[in-house]
A and B are shown apart, each in its own frame.
Chain A
Amino acid sequence: DTAVSQTPKYLVTQMGNDKSIKCEQNLGHDTMYWYKQDSKKFLKIMFSYNNKELIINETVPNRFSPKSPDKAHLNLHINSLELGDSAVYFCASSLLAGQETQYFGPGTRLLVL
């Protein structure tokens, strides 16, 4: 039983397209996150939602728009994809915001051509 799942696992697309990545957690957690792991291998927080409310929004282009229809889901929509968006995107969740262990999904490997 997958705790944090993401779809799709791989995504290859052309520059300028719009794409979405979906994330679902079945852990009953209140907080969900999106991270980006770039070519330099750093894992960087992009967004955090607590009970469907945005609580962290790091310096991310506004082409990236997270949407949380309920606290078990946090989707990431990306408009006008650019080459530099190529990365692995990880979704994560934690019971609460703050000092809590985060559980990660398997990642979505996005390649923009």
Chain B
Amino acid sequence: DQQVKQNSPSLSVQEGRISILNCDYTNSMFDYFLWYKKYPAEGPTFLISISSIKDKNEDGRFTVFLNKSAKHLSLHIVPSQPGDSAVYFCAAGVSGNTPLVFGKGTRLSVIA
């Protein structure tokens, strides 16, 4: 039972354009959400997070949008750069001592 789903295994975007990575979740108890970025042979690195009390959080070129009614969040990267090419994991959690639940990841390729 996948509580966090990233339905696109891969995405290719031209350099300079917007990358939009999507994530859906099923557990309405989730109250915080994170995006991690992973390069080959490295561990995931934290990118950006959002609490369920917000619907948008921005950090430089990265913006996360949360639509609670649709149980959907998205990560926007603009402008996309070749160095953004990586696997992006969406994760969700419930406040307290509960584990994060990760999606399967979306591989982003930014083409120069």
Residues in chain A within 8 A of chain B (CB atoms): 4, 33, 40-45, 48, 50, 55-56, 58, 90, 92, 97-99, 101-107
Q: How far is the CA of A50 from the CA of B45 in the complex (A)?
A: 21
Inter-chain contact B42/A106, CB cutoff 8 Å: yes
Pairs across A and B, CB under 8 Å, 5 listed:
A33-B99, A43-B89, A101-B34, A101-B46, A107-B42
Inter-chain contact A98/B96, CB cutoff 8 Å: yes
Q: How far is the CA of A101 from the CA of B45 in the complex (A)?
A: 10
* Shortest Cβ distance from A9 into B: residue: B41
Inter-chain contact A107/B43, CB cutoff 8 Å: yes
Q: How far is the CA of A55 from the CA of B99 in the complex (A)?
A: 10
Chain B interface, number of residues (Cβ within 8 angstroms): 24
* Shortest Cβ distance from B43 into A: residue: A104
Task: Give the Cβ gap from B41 to chain A, nearest Cβ, in Å.
Answer: 7
Q: How far is the CA of A104 from the CA of B38 in the complex (A)?
A: 10
Inter-chain contact A106/B43, CB cutoff 8 Å: yes
Inter-chain contact B95/A90, CB cutoff 8 Å: no
Chain A residues near B100 (CB-CB < 8 A): 45, 102
Q: Is B28 an interface residue (CB 8 A)?
A: no
Inter-chain contact B46/A44, CB cutoff 8 Å: no
